[in-house]
């Protein structure tokens, strides 16, 4: 096959936007130029990459498969660029980091410290849910991920670097807020605000109660711990969240952490990446900072310079 990198770049842009016009605008090309490159790519493959139904453009099965490889090639080119920068003795480089929403607050502090040490670094940060993190790891289009529970069935290296206590929270005026050593049997009578199915916190909660012969009554699901905190504060139920998500609420005396038997549930935060991933010196420096210095950095109450980041949230 005689496929050019330019064709793959154009194809990836069209696949992302599902529009020749928007892809052309992003790439600073004309729409006919984009269309011609896609036609040449399809001719080379002898397969269709897109189909149009009405006014909407869709990827074909072949297009979806090609997109997987195109993204891997793009990531390899980024790594190549960073390696060449190293050979030239430059501290410039690019890191692509993804963080589960629960770890957002302390992850930004770690990135701030890293930027303080390597100010020429460009960081792309994706703050998203567990399912999206696993998808990004699977596609090998992220350098490292910070998450609470490493995925099973995926060939990854996972290094624990920080304890992650899960606690039960309630409104400040809840009847249980002054009770000591609350048994799980009492909690079973309460309603809870839960994370969505598939989240690390939800998985651990259900396993923890199930192993002890209890179940949790859920009144509603939320897609973030911040939303759970707000719902609990409004009196809609109790919540089980990471202690790291409560810094502001505890400082403002908005929520209470209940004294429950066998709590907190002690977990860990992990730095995760694909096994065998080629690290630049910059990526290795970031891994070293997180896995060796995180506790010390987070114990400081410092304000850091804001890094140059492209932040995406889901």
Q: Domain end: 39, 68, 97, which one?
A: 68
Whether 299 is covered by a domain: the verdict is yes
pLDDT digits (tens, 9 = 90+) for 172-222: 989 998 999 999 889 888 889 988 887 878 888 888 888 888 888 776 888
Mean pLDDT across the chain: 86
182 shares a domain with 130? no
Q: Residue 79 — pLDDT band, cuts 50, 70, 90?
A: confident
Print burial letters for 189-211: b (CB count within 10 Å at least 16), e (below 16). ebebbbbeeebbbbebbeebbee
CATH number for position 105: 3.40.190.10
Measured distance CA(184)–CA(32) in Å, rounded:
65
Which pLDDT score, from 0 to 100, does residue 82 have? 73
Angle in degrees, CA 283, 96, 157, rounded to 5: 60
Measured distance CA(70)–CA(164) in Å, rounded:
36
How many Cβ atoms are within 10 Å of 126's Cβ, its own excluded? 19
Residue range 52-66: average pLDDT?
A: 93
261 shares a domain with 189? yes
Residue range 15-41: average pLDDT?
A: 94
Which pLDDT score, from 0 to 100, does residue 306 have? 40
62 shares a domain with 110? no
147 shares a domain with 22? no
Whether 77 is covered by a domain: the verdict is no
pLDDT digits (tens, 9 = 90+) for 267-293: 899 999 999 888 878 888 899 999 999
Three-state secondary structure call for residue 279: coil
Lowest mean pLDDT among 41-50, 52-61, 84-93, 201-210: 84-93
Whether 76 is covered by a domain: the verdict is no
pLDDT at residue 170 above 60? yes
Whether 82 is covered by a domain: the verdict is no
Angle formed by the axes of helices 5-17 and 61-87, nearest 10°: 120
Residue range 17-34: average pLDDT?
A: 94
277 shares a domain with 245? no
Q: Which of 114, 96, 122 is nearest to 288 (CA)?
A: 114
Q: What is the DSSP string of 19-36?
A: -HHHHHHHHT--HHHHHH
Which pLDDT score, from 0 to 100, does residue 14 have? 95
185 shares a domain with 116? no
CATH number for position 35: 1.10.10.10
279 shares a domain with 157? yes
Q: Residue 308 — pLDDT band, cuts 50, 70, 90?
A: very low
Which pLDDT score, from 0 to 100, does residue 254 have? 86
Which pLDDT score, from 0 to 100, does residue 42 have? 94
Angle formed by the axes of helices 20-27 and 31-45, nearest 10°: 110
Could you tell me the two tokens for 91? 């501290």
292 shares a domain with 157? yes
Could you tell me the two tokens for 42? 């399809």
182 shares a domain with 50? no
Could you tell me the two tokens for 46? 């002898």
Which pLDDT score, from 0 to 100, does residue 194 have? 87
For residues 274 and 192, the answer to whether their CB atoms sit within 8 Å is no
Whether 244 is covered by a domain: the verdict is yes
169 shares a domain with 146? no
Domain that holds residue 155: 88-161+269-313
Which pLDDT score, from 0 to 100, does residue 103 have? 86
Which pLDDT score, from 0 to 100, does residue 86 have? 65
């Amino acid at each position: 096959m005689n496929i050019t990198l330019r064709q793959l770049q154009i194809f990836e842009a069209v696949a992302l936007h599902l529009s020749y016009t928007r892809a052309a605008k992003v790439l600073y090309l004309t729409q006919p130029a984009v269309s011609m490159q896609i036609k040449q790519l399809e001719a080379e493959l002898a397969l269709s990459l897109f189909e149009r139904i009405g006014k909407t453009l869709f990827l074909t099965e072949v297009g979806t498969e090609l997109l997987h490889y195109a993204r891997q090639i793009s990531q390899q080119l980024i790594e190549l660029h960073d390696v060449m920068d190293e050979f030239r003795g430059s501290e410039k480089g690019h890191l692509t980091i993804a963080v589960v929403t629960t770890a957002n607050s302390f992850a930004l502090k770690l990135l701030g410290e890293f930027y303080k040490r390597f100010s020429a670094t460009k960081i792309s940060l994706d703050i998203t849910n567990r399912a999206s993190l696993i998808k990004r790891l699977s596609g090998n289009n992220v350098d490292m991920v910070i998450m609470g529970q490493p995925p099973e069935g995926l060939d990854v290296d996972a290094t624990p670097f920080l304890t992650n206590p899960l606690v039960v929270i309630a409104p400040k005026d809840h009847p249980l807020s002054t009770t000591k050593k609350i048994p799980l049997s009492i909690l079973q009578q309460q309603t809870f605000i839960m994370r969505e199915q598939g989240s690390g916190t939800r998985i651990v909660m259900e396993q923890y109660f199930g192993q002890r012969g209890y179940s949790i009554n859920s009144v509603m699901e939320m897609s973030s711990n911040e939303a759970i905190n707000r719902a609990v504060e409004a009196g809609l139920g109790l919540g089980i969240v990471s202690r790291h998500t409560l810094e502001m609420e505890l400082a403002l005396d908005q929520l209470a952490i209940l004294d429950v038997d066998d709590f907190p549930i002690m977990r860990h935060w992990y730095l995760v990446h694909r096994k065998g991933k080629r690290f630049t010196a910059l990526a290795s420096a970031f891994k070293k900072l997180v896995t060796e210095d995180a506790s010390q950095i987070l114990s400081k109450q410092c304000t850091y310079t804001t890094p140059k980041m492209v932040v995406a949230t889901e």
